[in-house]
Amino acid sequence: MNTSTARQYPADFQHQVINEVKVHNRLLSDVAKQYGVSAKTVYKWVKYSENHKAENRGAIMSEIALLQQKITQLSQQLQTMAS
């Protein structure tokens, strides 16, 4: 399907559909029928949300590591200044 003719769904709608599949453990095909979306589209949304969550988790862990290093560095500077 051409992207110019592809239907765009609001993000909150997509989250609702994904929630039905992942949180409520409903069959992807049943959710697709209920919401009037193709099973392939629902599958893509669910897969994207899983990949995106993993990417975000990795970025957050990297940020935490950098902040912990900064805290250690600042603590050492504070101790030096207090001496």
Q: What is the rounded average pLDDT of the residues 20-44?
A: 95
What does the mean pLDDT of the chain come to? 88
Task: Indicate the pTM of the whole model.
Answer: 0.58
Specify the DSSP class assigned to residue 7. P
In 3D space, the residue among 58, 44, 55, 61 whose CA is nearest the CA of residue 7 turns out to be 44
| pLDDT one-digit tens code per residue, 3-16 | 445 589 999 999 99
- Check residue 71 and give its pLDDT: 96
Q: Where are the alpha helices (DSSP H) in the chain?
A: 11-22, 28-35, 39-82
Checking if the pLDDT of 76 tops 90, the result is: yes
- Check residue 6 and give its pLDDT: 59
Q: What are the domain boundaries of the chain?
A: 11-82
| pLDDT one-digit tens code per residue, 47-59 | 998 877 777 777 8
Q: How far apart are the first and last CA of the chain?
A: 69
